[in-house]
Amino acid sequence: MTSSMRAGLITLLTIAFIAPAAMANERFTASAIKDEIIGKRIYLAVPLGGEFPLNYRPNGQVDGSGEALGLGRFAKPNDKGRWWINGDRLCQQFTSWYKGAPMCFELIRTGDKRLKWIRDNGQTGTARIGNSI
């Protein structure tokens, strides 16, 4: 292997390992939210295990169901509302969940199809980006 081939291989390997790491901990922009979140099912990680699905529909509607987690015993298991983008934050307001209060989230990429969310009240959590709905 020539020295120029070796240098090219080292450059390719460096890019292959550094590029994904650089993407991690990157804040979602409004454009990235539209491209990567809207039209998808997002699975929120819940503290005792499992995932809570939310559907961010292209028409501005968001809906979710906690039936699989057994939430019907504690709260209304299904709800829907609307979503919008404010700056680089994803905002939502449900009909009855959270007493219908609007809330906004900063989204930070933590890996491929994974993110951390920070709510405007300081609460945090993690989620995974699912398939298109």
pLDDT digits (tens, 9 = 90+) for 28-79: 999 999 999 999 999 999 887 888 899 999 999 999 987 655 554 455 578 9
Q: What is the pTM of this model?
A: 0.77
Pick left, alpha or beta for residue 15 (phi over 0 → left; psi -120 to 50 → alpha; otherwise beta): alpha
Cβ-contact 121, 106 below 8 angstroms: no
Locate the domains of the chain by residue range: 26-132
pLDDT (tens digit per residue) in 89-110: 999 999 999 999 999 999 999 9
Of the candidates 96, 93, 95, 89, the one whose C-alpha atom is nearest the C-alpha of residue 117 is: 89
